[in-house]
């Protein structure tokens, strides 16, 4: 397992710009023992990123999923959409340090990456770092509390 003490329920989705990366991420997460729900889209299907981000973000917000992974060309549009869902914090990352800190200090339960920005190797390293981290709470909980949407 990737450093987490138990298997997590993780939802994964992408738009058409990240089909290949989604397949790599899904396979790696399954290999790590996580329960993965792939919310698509089908390969070759052109879709709008907000339509892919909202089901993942809402599933994390309501507890159906422990965490979510959203992939598009840059990760930006996915994060902007996911962050509109109350109770969700989504972070765009392209390095392991940022991925770890997104969880440690910001309790970001949705990770966003761009296939046009990171390759599969970096993406999987970011996932491993993010999954191995747990929210530290303490002074960070106070700060996160100031950005929580009701």
Q: Is 105 a catalytic residue?
A: yes
The structure tokens listed for 122 are 């970096």
If DSSP codes are grouped into helix, strand and coil, which group holds residue 76? helix
CA distance 124 to 137: 25
* Burial class of residue 54 (count of CB atoms within 10 Å of its CB; 0-12, 13-18, 19+): middle
Bond from prior residue into 41 cis (ω within 30 degrees of 0): yes
Q: Is 19 a catalytic residue?
A: no
Selecting among 19, 34, 72, 140, the annotated active-site residue is: 72
Selecting among 34, 105, 112, 126, the annotated active-site residue is: 105
CB 49 within 8 A of CB 22: no
Q: What is the DSSP letter of 41?
A: -
Catalytic residues: 72, 105
């Amino acid at each position: 397992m990737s450093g987490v003490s138990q298997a997590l329920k993780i939802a994964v989705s992408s738009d058409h710009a990240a089909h290949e990366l989604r397949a790599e991420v899904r396979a790696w997460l399954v290999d790590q023992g996580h329960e993965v729900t792939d919310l698509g889209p089908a390969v070759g299907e052109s879709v709008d990123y907000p339509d892919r981000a909202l089901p993942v973000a809402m599933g994390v917000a309501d507890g159906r999923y422990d965490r979510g992974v959203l992939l598009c060309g840059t990760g930006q549009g996915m994060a902007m959409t996911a962050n509109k869902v109350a109770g969700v914090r989504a972070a765009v990352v392209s390095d392991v340090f940022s991925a770890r800190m997104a969880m440690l200090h910001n309790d970001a339960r949705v990770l966003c990456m761009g296939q046009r920005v990171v390759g599969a190797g970096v993406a999987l390293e970011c996932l491993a770092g993010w999954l191995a981290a747990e929210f530290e709470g303490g002074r960070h909980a106070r700060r996160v509390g100031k950005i929580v949407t009701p």
